[in-house]
Amino acid sequence: MKLEVITVGTELLLGHTLDTNAVDLGRALAAAGVEVTRRTTVADRPAAVRDAVRDALARVAFVLTTGGLGPTSDDLTKTAVAELLGKRLLLDEAVLRRLEQRFRHLGRPMPAANRGQAEVPEGAVVLPNPRGTAPGLWLDDGNGRVVIMLPGVPAEMRGLLLEEVLPRLVARRAAAGEAPRVVLSRTVRTTGSPESAIAERVAPVESGLEPLTLAYLPGPAGVDLRLTAWGLDPEDAERRLAAAGERLREVLGTRCYGDEETDLAAVLLHQLRARGERLAVAESCTGGVLGSRLTAIPGASDTFVGGVIAYDDAVKTALLDVPAAMLAQQGAVSEAVVQAMAAGAQRRFGVAAALAVTGIAGPSGGTPEKPVGTVWVAARHGDRTRALQRIFPGARDEIRARSAQAALDLLRLALLES
Amino acid sequence: MKLEVITVGTELLLGHTLDTNAVDLGRALAAAGVEVTRRTTVADRPAAVRDAVRDALARVAFVLTTGGLGPTSDDLTKTAVAELLGKRLLLDEAVLRRLEQRFRHLGRPMPAANRGQAEVPEGAVVLPNPRGTAPGLWLDDGNGRVVIMLPGVPAEMRGLLLEEVLPRLVARRAAAGEAPRVVLSRTVRTTGSPESAIAERVAPVESGLEPLTLAYLPGPAGVDLRLTAWGLDPEDAERRLAAAGERLREVLGTRCYGDEETDLAAVLLHQLRARGERLAVAESCTGGVLGSRLTAIPGASDTFVGGVIAYDDAVKTALLDVPAAMLAQQGAVSEAVVQAMAAGAQRRFGVAAALAVTGIAGPSGGTPEKPVGTVWVAARHGDRTRALQRIFPGARDEIRARSAQAALDLLRLALLES
């Protein structure tokens, strides 16, 4: 069951609005076994809407539009679609009564502009919209093609999708004797290795994952691997995804830190909590990013104690006991200093584990020996310290995000081995 | 000058990824006088990419694709477009050398998979991408049609768009002798007042802003006001936007802290720098968010010294000298404690100004007297401390973001008055 989405909105083309409906539509339709094969965004212009719907109907049997159903002059989807399918617009008395009732309830007279919202293409099924003035419309062209029109307001779109559209799509499929076919995905998260190194590990098992597809999604947190089952029976999809996820975790070993939306900070806090150990941080170039990652996790307070943001070198000495002579001789971005920062945090906060970060986040401050992106991270646990140097790519924000992730991962790996 | 955008990514159709590139592309192209007439999102499948590019080239002279240029097996835009236009892929020695150099710089061998990124459709102009491994490509079909291929990674896409693509598009238009008509926007940023209070201030001058449109954009950082000029001559648009921005700033007074993308943290650092004064922070519920806001600003290190993340109450006492008795009697989320935290940070770091935050970010920890969202912020400057209580709406992340913004703003206002 294939469907195309057409989003009507000049604001979206101009980049004034982020298209969050796309996320809701994509997830809900995929989970119901409807494959969205294309999404098209067009301006608030009758010809643009008409052409896009016509082109889509030439490719698939279901077209879902969002936007362009309101009372203002830039709302035109209904008219354009009715014209395309050769349907007249007729006043629907039931819709008109609901509209008038709605305005009475709000204690306001109904503006004349809203009367047009009660016009419906002949033969269309009206999908009641309790959240707004524009109902959804389900318009069958009589030749097995359907255009579904929904308002663009996110809450109204979502409500109509879940309550009116999905049940009808599923019923259609059942009536046609088609077994439900879903698109389901599972994500395996890795960090600390580049996309190409992950791909080399995965290559030997990749063909065995079929018919699932595998996508590599690199980002500052690492490389996520997304497995997707396309158009399978729901149980079959779940079984294959579970088995494929297991296979990936096997070949990836400790590179893999979790599934789906798992945050590495939550994984680390969980490891420490299981041991009854507590954590502190000492941050230079990340300047709070590492602490904010840890404290973003609800319930962090039983395990994360606090930290020192030692942005100025004098703070490294005063609050973390890093010797001034060491700073002068080795420089703030050095193995000796990052180790001293971690040890200082562990001692000052009286905790089992401490993380430290120092580096050059840029854009200035780089040298030929220590270019922008050079970062030292350290993880101290008990009486052992691990330290690691990296040269991260990207701009200031990305270097800081990657630094925090590397620090969290260093301690995760240390705890796995201890 | 009309252009269509084609976004390649199954992830986007499935709703796994929010298409933020659409916003950057829409804004930058509109500001350069290029009209985006359609945006199409297709799956990572060669046929889907080829068909979408072919259809778009039948409608407009410029097609810009994003995504599908990376080294892994799901990257296929270049191959599909080369096939569509009947171009062979040839190894580009200069691109290969840059790739090898990039990996040397990162201290890693170049994986075999990346070699394919050095292949270029014959006749294509390579757009250098200093932020990543995949260069952009500008491919002229010889009949006045151009396909521009950019990677999907947001920072890389944006950099290539601004530095390589827009200058070429503008030069094309100038060569064709077309006068530009632009859609331009300007934003005036406010914080600390709700949308309705801002709207009341603006109402008396709103009609005088025409033909510009005005949109209210509330968010965790405050309420942004966006003025837009539609389809005007560039100079006329600039002049009207400047005058309207001035009028808004007049009626908003100190509620307004900047324009466009100005970050409140940058404004505050600038104020302090002008006075030769330095800043430290003491964070409880924000746990590093405030420090990371400040250190996200390049050059913060001359003004921001550091801070203490005092997540555990024992840290408030040990590192910020908050009396244990005060914590026991008043509770950690109280005016007395936030004031003591700010004073402690000022003294410990030896700085002129200090910020402190303590609150209940949730989801647990709320009480009837102090519900989730209750936050105290304090700004100490010289020997005076201002403190403020707020009850913020939203989830944990939003409460923390709003808390950091409120703390920054409290000190900004104090400095304006002192």
Nearest CB neighbour to A12, from listed B16, B22, B312: B22
Measured between beta carbons, the chain A residues lying within 8 angstroms of B364 are 298-299
Token pair listed for B129: 């991408």
Helical (H) or strand (E) element with A245: helix A234-252
Please report the pLDDT score of residue A106 as a whole number. 72
Query: Which chain A residues contact residue B105 at CB under 8 A?
Result: 371, 391
Q: Sign of torsion, CA A241 A245 A248 A250?
A: negative
B25 contact residues in A (CB cutoff 8 A): 15
pLDDT grade for A110, boundaries at 50, 70 and 90: confident
Question: Which residues of chain A have a CB within 8 Å of the CB of B28?
Answer: 15
Contact A294 B288 (CB under 8 A): yes
Q: Are A185 and A212 a contacting pair, CB within 8 Å?
A: no
pLDDT tens digit sequence for B137-182: 999 988 889 999 999 989 899 999 999 999 899 888 888 887 777 8
Q: What is the pLDDT of residue A37?
A: 95
For the residues A169-177, what does the mean pLDDT come to? 85
Q: Looking at residue A223, what is its pLDDT?
A: 94
Place of tokens 């590139």: B21
Residue B27 pLDDT > 70, yes or no? yes
Amino acid at site B173: R
Instruction: Give the pLDDT score at A127.
Output: 95
Residue B342 to residues A69, A118, B162, B349, B350, Cα–Cα distance (Å): 53, 60, 42, 11, 12
Nearest to B312 among A15, A25, A306 (CB): A306
**Cα separation of A151 and A161, whole Å?**
10
Contact A393 B132 (CB under 8 A): yes
- Residue partners of B246: CB distance under 8 A and separation at least 6: none
- pLDDT band, very low/low/confident/very high, at B32 (cuts 50, 70, 90): confident
Among the listed residues B70, B81, B83, the one whose alpha carbon sits nearest the alpha carbon of residue B9: B70
> Average pLDDT for residues A117-135, to the nearest whole number?
89
Report the percent of chain B where pLDDT is more than 70: 99
Q: How many residues does chain A have?
A: 418
Q: And the tokens for A414? A: 């240390």
pLDDT attached to residue B226: 86
Which residue of A7, A55, A311, A358 to mutate against B (max B Cβ within 10 Å)? A311
Reported as a single tens digit per residue, the pLDDT across A286-300 is 999 999 999 999 999
Return d(Cα A389, Cα A333) in angstroms, integer.
Answer: 10
Do residue B309 and residue A306 have CB atoms under 8 angstroms apart?
Answer: yes
Rounded mean pLDDT, B26-44: 92
Mean pLDDT of B72-76: 66
Interface test with A, best of B13, B348, B349 (most A CBs within 10 A): B13
pLDDT at residue number B197: 84
Determine the average pLDDT of the residues in A56-77. 85
pLDDT tens digits, one per residue of B389-412: 999 988 899 999 999 999 999 999
Where residue B74 falls among pLDDT bands split at 50, 70, 90?
A: low
Q: What is the mean pLDDT of chain B?
A: 92
List Cβ<8 Å contacts ≥24 apart for B340-343. Answer: B340/B316, B341/B282, B341/B284, B341/B310, B341/B316, B341/B378, B342/B282, B342/B378, B342/B379, B342/B380, B342/B385, B342/B387, B343/B380, B343/B385
Q: 3-class secondary structure for A81-118?
A: HHHHCCCCEEECHHHHHHHHHHHHHCCCCCCHHHHHHH
Task: Please judge whether A305 and B295 are an interchain contact, meaning their C-beta atoms are less than 8 angstroms apart.
Answer: no
DSSP code of residue A164: I
Whether the pLDDT of residue A255 is over 60: the answer is yes
Question: What average pLDDT does the structure give for chain A?
Answer: 92
Residue with tokens 């939306």: A261
Residue among A15, A26, A305 whose CB faces B15 most closely: A26
Band of the pLDDT at B284, cuts 50, 70, 90? very high
**A311, B305: Cβ pair inside 8 Å?**
yes
Q: What pLDDT does A184 receive? A: 83
Residues B270 and B278: their CA atoms lie apart, in Å, by 11
- pLDDT at residue number B181: 79
Q: Which domains does chain B have, with CATH numbers?
A: 2-175 (3.40.980.10), 182-259 (3.30.70.2860), 264-417 (3.90.950.20)
pLDDT at A49: 95
B11, B30, B292: residue with CB nearest A215: B11
- Are residues A319 and B306, on separate chains, in Cβ contact within 8 Å? yes
ipTM of the complex: 0.79
In the structure, what pLDDT confidence band is assigned to residue B73 with cuts at 50, 70 and 90? Answer: low
Please state the rounded mean pLDDT for residues B179-194.
87
What's the confidence (pLDDT) of residue B70? 76
More confident residue, A106 or B194: B194
Q: At CB < 8 A and 24+ separation, what contacts does B161-165 make?
A: B161/B24, B161/B25, B161/B28, B162/B28, B164/B127, B164/B128, B164/B136, B164/B138, B165/B64, B165/B127, B165/B136, B165/B138
Interface test with A, best of B41, B42, B60, B277 (most A CBs within 10 A): B41
Residue B13 has pLDDT above 90, yes or no: yes
Percent of chain A whose pLDDT exceeds 90: 71
Query: What are the start-end ranges of the E strands in B46-205?
Result: 62-66, 89-91, 119-121, 125-127, 136-140, 146-150, 182-190
* pLDDT tens digits, one per residue of B91-138: 999 989 988 888 888 777 888 778 888 889 999 999 999 888 889 999
**pLDDT 10s digits, A259-274:** 988 999 999 999 999 9
Pairwise CB contact (< 8 Å): A38 & B13: yes
Range with lowest mean pLDDT among A98-107, B237-246, B322-331, B362-371: A98-107
Which chain A positions have a beta carbon within 8 Å of B72's beta carbon? 195-196, 199, 215-216
Interface test with B, best of A286, A309, A351, A389 (most B CBs within 10 A): A309
Q: Dump pLDDT digits (tens) for A381-407.
A: 999 999 999 999 889 999 999 999 999
CB A80 within 8 A of CB A50: yes
Predicted local distance difference test score (pLDDT) of residue A406: 98
Q: So what's the pLDDT on residue A75?
A: 62
CA distance A120 to chain B (A): 27
Work out the minimum CA distance from A271 to partner chain B, whole angstroms. 19
Q: Which of B23, B38, B111 sits opposite A42 (nearest CB)?
A: B38
pLDDT tens track for A185-237: 899 999 999 888 999 999 999 989 988 988 888 889 999 998 988 778 889 99
For B39, the closest of A13, A196, A306 (CB atoms) is A13
- Which stretch, A204-218, B72-86, B231-245, has highest mean pLDDT? B231-245
Measure the CA–CA gap between A56 and A148, rounded to whole angstroms: 12
Asked which of A55-64, A198-207, B71-80 is least confident by mean pLDDT, the reply is B71-80
Residue A353 predicted with pLDDT over 80: yes
